[in-house]
Amino acid sequence: MNLETVFQITSNVAVLGWLILIVAPNWKHTKNITTILISTLIFGGLYAFFIGTSFGEGEGGFGSLADVRKLFMNDRALLAGWIHYLSFDLFIGTWEIENAKSLGISRWLVLPCQILTFLFGPIGLLLYFLIRLAVTKNIKQGNTFA
């Protein structure tokens, strides 16, 4: 299978995981599908494969931006990096909804965070932490708009 096909398949699997997470966050299988099956088994396995098969093939490293650029000029390493993003963003999106459930935060407040996490990773997580801070502060003060 060529790298472009793997890219397309993993991207579509990530979108499927996000759809399940957003449409059915309370379904008993959602967390297992998004974290164990997709993020860990599928993406973790593919990531290990592509890192393992591209290691040492190219120049570059993590010492400077120029070194990182050189590192990702290898398509296998670039694909591994993409899978890394897909895996961690989906894992964080799952954590956001699970953490919100445990704190009694409305899924509707978390939904924009999840969309931003899907599209822009850390921005969505930042928004979630800000919402979590505001909601938990209000709950401690006796307000319940969560």
pLDDT in tens, 96-125: 999 999 999 999 999 999 999 999 999 999
Share of the chain above pLDDT 70, in %: 95
Give the pTM: 0.88
Once rounded to an integer, what is the mean pLDDT over residues 8-28? Answer: 97
Domain ranges of the chain: 3-103
pLDDT in tens, 35-51: 999 999 999 999 999 99
- In whole angstroms, how far apart are CA 5 and each of 8, 49, 79? 5, 15, 11
Whats the size of the chain, residue-wise? 146
pLDDT of residue 128: 98
Smallest Cα–Cα separation from 114: which of 103, 106, 125, 105? 125
pLDDT of residue 36: 96
